[in-house]
Amino acid sequence: MQSKMRKVVLFAHISLDGFAGDVNGGLGFLSYNEELQKYADELVKTVGAPLYGKTTYHLMEGYWPTVLNNPDADKRSLAHAQWVQDIPKVVFSTTLDEVSWNNTTLVKENIVEEVNSLKQQPGKDLVIFGSPGLAKSFMKLGLIDEYRLTLHPVILGNGIKLFDTNITTSSLKLLETKTLGSGVITMHYSSNNLTTG
């Protein structure tokens, strides 16, 4: 029996008007509370390897290792910092020459082949955390199997869009949706490039 292939999942927070970050890439608009944290914690359990673009990689690399050395860090942050330190990470960038963070692989070319190779390895899913630039590249290449989006009750008016105008039209299947107490709606879609069987 053939084992199930790993999926590429995009996990992103978006405003009602489709922005994944403010003009500076900031996430100050998020209605982040205990309920949303719980949703994110559950999602993290499905991750075999986080996928980052260059900008998000630099943000993560610059932040999480410092939490490990922070005596005032809370238990949840410490646990997540340890998780992200240990887990295999993959960075997609044509301009980076090397990556130095523990257990990180750099992919500079042959993206489709590299992603398909990663999907055939055993383990949990490959998840893009935010990274709007990488997400758009993957969408154009038809590489995203599932979308897990949290829709926040705010209109930003400007910022970093998650979806570009030159992305191929794609029909999605709604797997699950939930409305949180804060007014955030969590949405889980699968794309048609998943083969059933």
Contact 162, 135 (CB under 8 A): yes
Domain membership of residue 78 as a residue range? 8-21+30-191
Measured between alpha carbons, how far is 8 from 30 in angstroms, rounded to an integer?
24
Q: Please indicate, yes or no, if residue 196 is contained in any of the structural domains.
A: no
Within a domain: 2: no
Residue 34 belongs to a domain: yes
Residue 196: per-residue pLDDT? 42
Task: Say what the pLDDT of residue 158 is.
Answer: 93
The model's pTM is 0.90
Each of the 197 residues of the chain gets a pLDDT tens digit; together they read: 445 799 999 999 999 999 998 888 888 888 778 899 899 989 999 999 999 999 889 989 999 999 998 989 899 889 999 999 999 999 999 999 999 999 999 999 999 999 999 999 999 999 998 889 999 999 999 999 999 999 999 999 999 999 887 777 788 999 999 999 999 999 999 997 544 43
Q: Does residue 197 sit within a domain?
A: no
How many domains does the chain fold into?
Answer: 1
Distance (Å, rounded) from C-alpha 46 to C-alpha 175? 16
CATH of the domain at 173: 3.40.430.10
Sign of the alpha-carbon dihedral angle for 35, 182, 26, 112: positive
